[in-house]
Amino acid sequence: MSIVLDGQPGVEHRLNVSFDRIADRYDDTRSLPGDIMEQVIDALEMLVDSRKPILDVGVGTARFARPLQARGQEIVGIDISTRMLHKARAKGTEDLMLANVCQLPFADNAFGVAMSVHVLHLIADWRRALSEIARVTTERYVSVASYREDSPAEDMRRYYEAKCEELGHAVKHPGLRERELRDLLRADLVSMVAVHEEVIDVRARIEGFEKRTYSSQWPVPEEIHRQAVEALRARYEGTEHLLERESIYLLAWKTARLKEFLKGIGVK
């Protein structure tokens, strides 16, 4: 399949959360260490293996698609962010397309497996996204989910968000996190793959918050953002390092069950 980075005619991108603004910094702020990534890709490869091609929706910089392609998997990546797709292409990723998961430009049953990683939470119409995923796949839908509930570093995010809320802006995502789908539809597979622990530099992390590194921060009004960052600096004054702990899970749902679920909630 050829690489298509031109706009998909008729696709409405304006209402979506594109990652164009963070493309240059995305890999530096979201990467996993090589050995952990290797474990995740090993497990993911077994789960996505199919006779048909694999679809990665919201492929981004091809964090997962590129290593899977390098192992010989036939994987097509779509995204609404041209700049993220260019980053993916610069790594040698093939079969990339500018497209919206809510209007996939593919025939029914074109893929065996579809995956999305940290994407559904960005999409207000996540039901439509899942319905499109179910339409184009025959076997299953897969995600890689991170759980940071017991991570001391995560308290910084909670503190920033609580401050924003106190100042009048509730930080929330428009969609549903992939892992939250488990609350609505039992997953067919839940498998813990790795625990990533890292000591982080508190000052650098606060600078990351200041630069609005995380998509949930993008809608925060400037004055509220400024005050929340100031409060974060005051709260963590004297703390140089914190432990970040992330448990990484693979999740999978059979396409047939996803279709039943969507039918049950009235999505065609």
Ligand X SMILES: C[S@@+](CC[C@H](N)C(=O)[O-])C[C@H]1O[C@@H](n2cnc3c(N)ncnc32)[C@H](O)[C@@H]1O
Write out the H or E segment, with its range, that includes residue 256.
Answer: helix 255-264
DSSP-derived secondary structure letter, 201: E
Question: Parallel, antiparallel, or unpaired for β 137-147 and 241-254?
Answer: antiparallel
Nearer to ligand X among residue 79 and residue 246 (C-beta): 79
Nearer to ligand X among residue 18 and residue 138 (C-beta): 18
The residue whose two tokens read 């392609």 is 69
* Residue type (1 letter), 216: S
Helix pair angle (126-136, 255-264), 10° resolution: 140
Nearer to ligand X among residue 29 and residue 109 (C-beta): 29
Applying CB under 6 A, among 66, 87, 118, 163 the residue interacting with ligand X is 118
Q: Does the footprint of ligand X cover residue 117 (CB under 6 A)? A: yes
Binding residues for ligand X, rule CB under 6 A, total 23
Q: Which of 16, 18, 35, 82 lies closest to 193 in space, CA to CA?
A: 35
Q: Smallest distance, Å, CB 27 to ligand X? A: 8
Question: Parallel, antiparallel, or unpaired for β 54-57 and 111-116?
Answer: parallel
| Cα(127)–Cα(52) distance, integer angstroms | 24
Q: Which of 248, 256, 252 lies closest to 181 in space, CA to CA?
A: 252
Q: Does the footprint of ligand X cover residue 80 (CB under 6 A)? A: yes
Interface stretch with ligand X, choices 59-67, 152-160, 204-212, 231-239 (CB under 6 A): 59-67
Question: Parallel, antiparallel, or unpaired for β 189-201 and 137-147?
Answer: unpaired
Q: Does the footprint of ligand X cover residue 77 (CB under 6 A)? A: no
Indicate the SS3 state at residue 155.
helix
Polymer length of the chain: 268
Applying CB under 6 A, among 47, 48, 96, 102 the residue interacting with ligand X is 102
Q: Does the footprint of ligand X cover residue 84 (CB under 6 A)? A: yes
Applying CB under 6 A, among 48, 63, 66, 132 the residue interacting with ligand X is 63
Nearer to ligand X among residue 41 and residue 119 (C-beta): 119
Q: Does the footprint of ligand X cover residue 81 (CB under 6 A)? A: yes
Q: Does the footprint of ligand X cover residue 114 (CB under 6 A)? A: no
Footprint of ligand X on 39-58 (CB under 6 A): 57-58
Q: Does the footprint of ligand X cover residue 251 (CB under 6 A)? A: no
* Binding flags for ligand X, 1-40, as an x/- string (CB under 6 A): ---------------xxxx----------x----------
Q: Does the footprint of ligand X cover residue 60 (CB under 6 A)? A: yes
Q: Going along the chain, which residue ranges are E strands?
A: 54-57, 75-79, 96-98, 111-116, 137-147, 189-201, 241-254
Q: Smallest distance, Å, CB 259 to ligand X? A: 20
DSSP-derived secondary structure letter, 52: S
| Cα(16)–Cα(198) distance, integer angstroms | 32
Interface stretch with ligand X, choices 114-122, 164-172, 199-207, 223-231 (CB under 6 A): 114-122
Name the site residues for ligand X (rule: CB under 6 A): 16-19, 30, 57-60, 63, 78-81, 84, 100-102, 117-119, 122-123
